[in-house]
Structure 1
Amino acid sequence: MNNKISLFLFTMIGILLLSLSSCKKDDDTAVTTVAVLTTSSITKITDDSIVCGGNITSDGGAAVTARGVCWSTSQQPTIANNKTNDGSGTGSFTSKISGLAINNVYNIRAYASNSIGTAYGQQVSYNAAPTKKELFNQMLSWMCGSFSSKNHADTTVNQYIVDVRLKMAQIWSNRNVGENIYWLYVEQAYASDTNAPYRQRIYKVMMASNGDIYDEVYAIPSPANYLHGYNNTTVFNALTAANLTLKDGCDVAFTWNAAGQYFTGATTGNTCMAVGVPGVSYITSDATLHQTFMTSWDRGYNASGQWTMGPDWPYIFDKVATYPFNASK
């Protein structure tokens, strides 16, 4: 009987020891996971890049072999999208993102990869608003082209809206090198007789150091010599700015409307004086410039400030052709 009890106790002690040994092995086995990290805030913004990064606080028990940031215009970007490669290991790191297109919102997340997988930090966003220089060049590229009000004339009941053709082409691209100054030849004519334009001007389009954009309007000597000059801008090579006559007070100031993604432009007050127009003392000009069309509204006023000339609403000009614009000078 005692032998049976002893055998039973010995067996139970063995089972208990085996169980304890098994539990100990389970406790000693470390669980490996993906890394733990956060995304840094955007700390530096330049004309063509931003600086972000992340901080890896734990490698999850397996070495971090790749880290950086990934970005996309879609939510929750992954390394399948655009990404940087910024070394390995834990701790803080810095990432530089370049080449972001203007007028886009980008979502950014830090990432860290180990043998288990890839982990991500929280998402931060960046609105790639255009720089002042980018806006300036964008406006000029939108201006350069051939415009027509035919569609507006065909669809409106306003008898004063007729088919007009408007051409704007860059000239003198090799002048004012290093300055934010560009020159455009502007020709406007009724579609019924494009060989007899009623307006031929040269615009000097400028951006001030504070980013303000405006243009000055100049009359051309012997304008018939430059008929259809938009087709061959070399005809202006012999002409200089000194040969032009400034239309004083007729400059137009432009403003970027970020919400609507277009430019607005207008003359100021009654400073653009009318010459040789019966019953008109001064003229105002208002315009909007979009990527595929523009509006233009010229109105004349007498000395008492009464509106005496011009249509009831702006002309709408569709852009039917794009002319080249060279911003590199």
Structure 2
Amino acid sequence: MTVNILFAAKEERWPTYEPHLRRALDDKGLDYDLRRDFAPDEVDYMVYAPNSDVQDFTPYTRLKAVLNLWAGVEGITRNDTLTVPLARMVDDGLTQGMIEWVTGHVLRHHLGMDAYIVNPDQEWNLIVPPLAQDRSVAILGLGALGRACAETLVGLGFKVSGWSRSPKEIAGVTCHHGENGLTETLAEAEILVLLLPDTPATENTLNAETLAALPRGAVILNPGRGPLIDDNALIDALNSGQIGHATLDTFRIEPLPADHSYWAHPRVTVTPHCASETRPASASRIIAENIARGESGQPFLYLVDRDSGY
């Protein structure tokens, strides 16, 4: 029986994803029809982006699963019309992209590279940073992406700690959890990386109180989610020198509005949500694998826990 697969993402994504999806589905030997224009009651699987026009899943009476193209699922987990399994995107390309962004910016701040790159006075300004073994980096969020970044930084010699809501064990990483664990993690974070999901429980994880718990002059990297930070509290902490610099890749409103104070702040670097784009080739293989598993009665990979929000 032919499996009907709806590509429910922005139209401009279709030419990029279609050949990769077809190749991956062919490799799985599936009998399928992949399109953008099925009638709702004909759809078996939905390849989905949360900014899709599909927001009401009620008419999709035959739907077996929704396969998200993004790692972030906050835009869909609170949709009460979605009652079938939802799988988030976990793939090697996305993980590697995040590792590279985080590692690049950790090294940039660790080495003090901005002093050389942005030097309008043309001063011969020698900065001797500590070695990695003497620099503390902390990661909030030790899921697939956080774990991968932590392991890479450990491999470079950094002192790495991390915090998650539930206990974790990662070789070479000092892992904390719970409310007291968050305080301990922040206290030792010269460079702090935010990789938590966006849930009601994580909103404003960085606020006036938690920013004050960081070592003075700490650097913040946020490739996770915009709502993790209380923006006004961060601006105040930057102005006072409590926070030395913030490199931000995600925001509450995207694209970041032109009049937002982050753009002009001398201690803020804005990047355009580029830390880890989904790569069509690797993502397509994950989607094809999940469809093949669904058709053969095996459990889906990377299912979202709707109660926890990720």
Considering the TM-score relative to the shorter chain, is it more than 0.5?
no
Larger Rg, first or second structure (1 or 2): 1
Greater helix share, structure number = 2
TM-score (ref. length: structure 1): 0.28
Greater strand share, structure number = 1
